[in-house]
Chain A
């Protein structure tokens, strides 16, 4: 179970639009709120185009046990730096929090080995959610399967699996 922490970058799913605020499901005990104005270049007239069911990558502004967590999609200097609505296509799946920490470690072998395979895009949320997008559906699913299985495979097994794949 994920506990929202201030400053963490997470992937949230838009569940409702209420007035000036989006409600996002981040996998915690409560839905987080995200204001319309918390995007880069957003004004009252220029609203972000997020529908229910869209994916958003943002960070927590406020996250303590007494209050509803709040998210924003800009950093302290007002730049979006990669945060915001995640584009079309791609595949979202859940993994354990421990795997995310492993994957985000500075020199992660899994990520390095995967990056040799084929071009793809990856977004890792600290709440255990991973979004993958590759050129074809097959490639995307291969990456998903490897990442899910990585938790229980040893390094040797992983390299074998990847060797088979790159052979194909």
Chain B
């Protein structure tokens, strides 16, 4: 066929190709009938019984004969029920929400301390110690350390 010749330009090739196609397709027979609309079939073919009747898992054990299978039975049969699945999701968290909140609080504190400048760190330390002292003895202990920090104006 002419369009297969390598020497010709691609354009002329294409033109020739289209002409050849037209000639060929006119020779093909086709039905002069309007296309049938494809109807969506309402029938689904299902070959397994398991879905039709919601069958239970086939492996069973009774009265503790095989504890692993009894565990499996509960697992498998609860897959059908959504309530159990939700319970499982909650149980899956290793650390409970409360613990998470507690840890996070203290975590922020400890890491925050790291980034304080030295002065602030000393203040923090003294505060803690003062609190301890006050709690231990209910006497009047002057927080002398605090006085050190503040600048005492020399009396004229």
| Interfacial residues, chain A to chain B (CB-CB below 8 A) | 3, 5-9, 57, 81-82, 101, 104-106, 108, 111, 114-115, 118-126, 133-135
Contact = CB atoms under 8 A, between A and B. Distances in A.
A57 B48 CA distance: 17
A126 B56 CA distance: 11
Interface in B24-39: none
Contact of B50 (A8, A108, A120): A8
A79 to B, nearest CB: 10
Contacts of B54: 106
Contacts, number: 74
30 contacts: A5-B47, A7-B50, A9-B59, A81-B75, A82-B57, A82-B59, A82-B72, A82-B76, A104-B55, A104-B58, A105-B56, A106-B54, A108-B56, A114-B62, A115-B63, A119-B62, A119-B63, A119-B64, A120-B63, A121-B61, A121-B66, A121-B69, A122-B61, A123-B59, A125-B58, A126-B48, A126-B58, A133-B65, A134-B65, A135-B65
Main SS at interface, chain A: loop
Nearest to B51: A7
A9 B57 CA distance: 9
A121 B65 contact: yes
A22 to B, nearest CB: 20
B62 A6 contact: no
Interface of B: 47-50, 53-66, 69, 72, 75-76
Contacts of B47: 3, 5-6
Contacts of B69: 82, 121
B77 to A, nearest CB: 8
Contacts of B66: 121
Contacts of A124: 58-60
A57 B49 contact: no
B62 A101 contact: no
Contacts of B75: 81
A133 B60 CA distance: 11
Contact of B60 (A3, A123, A125): A123
Contact of A8 (B48, B56, B59, B65): B48
A121 B72 CA distance: 13
